[in-house]
Amino acid sequence: MDSPNILEIKDLHTSFFTDSGVVKAVNGVSLNVPRGKITGLVGESGCGKSMTAKSVMGLVRNPGRIESGSILLDGKELVGLPEKELRKLCGDEVSMIFQEPMTSLNPVIRVGRQVEEALRIHGGISSHAEARKMVVEMFQKVGIPEPEERYSAYPHELSGGLRQRVMIAMAMIRNPKLLIADEPTTALDVTVEAQILRLMKQLCEEQGMSVLIITHNMGVVAEICDEVYVMYAGRIVEKASVFSLFDNTAHPYTQGLLASIPGLYDNPEYLHTISGVVPNLKRLPSGCAFHPRCEKAFGRCSEEQPGLYPVEEGHLCSCFLSERQ
């Protein structure tokens, strides 16, 4: 209870052992989710950001496994915990929202029932009438219009935005200490995305919930996050508060990423690009994984793995250029 962080990941290594080699999906990630704040984990596809979340939830499947490291949830170690205890602990304290709500809802059960089930298993509420009342209240809270009627709707009868709201209701009703949202708005349209982001921020503020949001969209990060971790090829390359990250971008990868986004207020002839492609996690480049694509790379980058160096208060960057400062 003393720690200011609800979730502390230390030097996590999660790898997949395939026929053709070891895929180091998470390669020494350390990450903290402070209480009552929204923390963002941002990176391109295949950088290991989803796998980090799955490691926390114990959802890493064969041939993958957590090799080493520690995951402290509210001070309790999760790595090495038996499946059953992990389920219970995670179920009580952590909720997860997935990218595509359709695949995480059972298509043949009414959505109200599904949310109710989550409540009964983890909330210890047995009476149906009471549970139903709470579900309807929660539906109202997450902005589902006509919650009474929606209670008995099937998932396919709802639009994408409504389904995502149901998922959020399901995640929220257990009153979790930590909410992990894996690309919660990627499948949604911009107007609905804006609604959902506002809802998440509002719920976080009202209930003092901690959120870890995983996304590839820098716009989403800028919109709602407090703290941001940038991931590249299984490692954290930069960690900063959201303002520090955008105002004082330190890592060349983050700089390139931000410069690649077409803006609404400028009219460039061509966009900035990061040359090359994301490295294959089976054959990581030596030294800094970003050096083959980096414009500022020098000799040392290909030989040595950079550590995390402070740029300013609470802003860390894994680049030798930051070490000199």
Partner 1 sequence: MTEKYKKQETRDELLSEIGDYDGLKEKIIRMYRNNRLAAFSAALIILMILLAVFAPYIAPYKEAHQDLLMRLQPPSRAHLFGTDELGRDVFSRILYGARVSLVIGIFPSMISLLIGIFFGLIAGYFGGWIDYVIMRVADVMLSFPSLLLAMALMYTLGRYANSVLCIFGALSLVGWASVSRVVRSVTLSLKETEYVDAARSIGVGRPKIMLRHILPNCIPSLIVLYTLNVPSCILSESTLSFLGIGVQPPAASWGLMVNQSKQYLFTMPWLALAPCLTIMIVVLAFNFLGDGLRDALDPYLKKG
Partner 2 sequence: MNENRTEVILRAEKLTKHFLTKKKQIVHALNEADLTLYKGETLAVVGESGCGKSTLGRTLIRLLPATSGKVLLNGQDITAMKEKEFRPLRRKMQMVFQDPYASLDPRMNVRDLIAEPLVTWHVTGTAAETNDKVLGLMEKVGLPGEFLTRYPHQFSGGQRQRIGIARAIALDPDILICDEPVSALDVSVQSQILNLLKRLRKEMRLTSIFIGHDLSVIHFIADRVCVMFLGTICEVAPKDELYSRPRHPYTEFLLDAIPQADPHRRTREKKLIKGEVPSPVHLPEGCCFQTRCPYADERCRSEKPALTERDGHSVACFHPLY
CB of 293 to partner 2, least distance (A): 9
Interface with partner 1 (CB under 8 A), residue from 277, 303, 307, 325: 277
Span of 5-13, 89-97, 269-277, 313-321 interacting with partner 2 by CB under 8 A: 269-277
314 binding partner 2? (CB under 8 A): no
CB of 302 to partner 2, least distance (A): 20
CB of 276 to partner 1, least distance (A): 4
310 binding partner 1? (CB under 8 A): no
- Which H or E run includes 320? helix 320-323
What's the half-sphere exposure (Cβ side, CA atoms, 13 Å) at 219? 11
128 binds, among partner 1, partner 2, none (CB under 5 to 8 A by kind): none
What's the half-sphere exposure (Cβ side, CA atoms, 13 Å) at 20? 4
Torsion-angle region of 247 (φ positive above 0: left; ψ -120 to 50: alpha; else: beta): alpha
Interface with partner 1 (CB under 8 A), residue from 278, 302, 308, 310: 278
Rounded Cα distance between 119 and 117, Å, is 5
263 binding partner 2? (CB under 8 A): yes
Interface with partner 1 (CB under 8 A), residue from 68, 280, 305, 325: 280
292 binds, among partner 1, partner 2, none (CB under 5 to 8 A by kind): partner 1
**Distance between alpha carbon 192 and the CA centroid of its chain, in Å?**
19
Question: Which residues share a beta bridge with 66?
Answer: 14
Interior/surface letters 210-223, b for 16+ CB within 10 angstroms, e for the rest: bbbbbbeebebbeb
CB of 163 to partner 2, least distance (A): 11
Work out the number of other CB atoms within 10 angstroms of the CB of residue 156: 10
Pick the closest to residue 109 from 142, 150, 153 (CA basis). Answer: 153
Q: Between 153 and 172, how does the x/- string for binding to partner 2 read (CB under 8 A)?
A: ------xxxx----------
Rounded to 10 degrees, the C-alpha dihedral 148/152/155/160 comes to -10
Structure tokens at 63: 């041939």
Structure tokens at 137: 């209240």
265 binding partner 1? (CB under 8 A): no
286 binding partner 1? (CB under 8 A): no
Which residues would be at the binding site for partner 1 (CB under 8 A)?
A: 20, 268-273, 275-280, 283, 292-293
Q: Which residues bind partner 2 (CB under 8 A)?
A: 44-45, 145, 159-162, 189-195, 197-198, 216-224, 242-243, 246, 256-258, 260-264, 268-274, 277-278
